[in-house]
Amino acid sequence: MLNRVFSADEIRYLKLLQNQYKTIQEASAEVAHLRAVLHLPKGTEHFMSDLHGEHAAFLHILHNASGVIKRKINDLYCNLLSTHERDMLSTLIYYPDEKLALLKKQGVVNQEWYRLTIYRLVEVCRMCSVKYTRARVRSSMPKEMGSLIQELLFADGTPDKEGYYREVMQSILETGQADAMIIALSKVIQTLAIDRLHIIGDIFDRGPRADLILDALENYHKVDVQWGNHDIVWMGAAALSEACIAQIIVTSVKYGNLETLEVGYGISLRPLAMLAMTHYADDTCDAFLPRDNGEDLHEDEMELARMHKAAAVLQFKLEGQLIARHPEYNMDDRRVLHRIDFENQTVEIEGKRYPLRSCNFPTIDPADPYTLTPVEREVMDRLVLEFAHSEKLQRHVQFLYSAGGMYLRCNGNLLYHGCIPMNEDGEFAPIPVTGKGALCGRAGIEAADKLARQGYFATLGSPVRQDGQDFLWYLGSGPNSPVFGKAKMATFERYFVRDKETHVEKKNAYYDFQDDEATALRILREFDLSENGLIINGHVPVKLGQGESPIKAGGKLLVIDGGLSRAYQPVTGIAGYTLIFTSHEVDLVAHQPFESTASAISAEQDIHSVQSLVRSMPRRLLIADTDDGEALRGRIDDLMALIAAYRSGVIKEMRG
Alpha-carbon distance 300 to 257, whole Å?
13
Cβ-contact 654, 35 below 8 angstroms: no
Give long-range contacts, CB 8 A cutoff, 24+ apart: 525-529: 526/420, 526/428, 526/441, 526/442, 527/407, 527/409, 527/414, 527/442, 528/409, 529/409, 529/412, 529/413, 529/414
Cβ-contact 166, 73 below 8 angstroms: no
Residue type at 271? Answer: P
Q: Nearest to residue 508, comparing CAs of 484, 477, 539, 538?
A: 484
What pLDDT, on a 0 to 100 scale, did the predictor assign at position 169? 84
Cβ-contact 622, 131 below 8 angstroms: no
Provide the strand spans (E) within 441-581.
535-537, 551-552, 557-559, 577-581
Please tell me whether residue 578 adopts helix, strand or coil conformation.
Answer: strand
Alpha-carbon distance 568 to 54, whole Å?
12
Cβ-contact 187, 213 below 8 angstroms: no
Q: What is the CA radius of gyration of the chain?
A: 28
**For the segment 627-645, what is each residue's pLDDT rounded down to a tens digit?**
999 999 999 999 999 999 9
Cβ-contact 224, 403 below 8 angstroms: yes
Residue count of the chain: 656
What pLDDT, on a 0 to 100 scale, did the predictor assign at position 590? 81
Give every residue of the chain whose pLDDT is below 50, as ranges: 293-298
**For the segment 77-130, what is each residue's pLDDT rounded down to a tens digit?**
998 999 999 999 999 999 999 999 999 999 999 999 999 999 999 999 999 998
What pLDDT, on a 0 to 100 scale, did the predictor assign at position 281? 87
Angle at CA 103, nearest 5°, toward 98 and 104?
100
Residue type at 649? Answer: G
Cβ neighbors of 656 (< 8 A, separation 6 or more) are none
What pLDDT, on a 0 to 100 scale, did the predictor assign at position 656? 65
Domain boundaries of the chain, sorted by first residue: 8-40+625-648, 45-200+538-621, 241-391
Alpha-carbon distance 382 to 608, whole Å?
46
Q: Nearest to residue 488, comparing CAs of 372, 344, 323, 365?
A: 323
Query: How many of the other CB atoms lie within 10 Å of CB of 636?
Result: 18
pTM of the model as a whole:
0.93
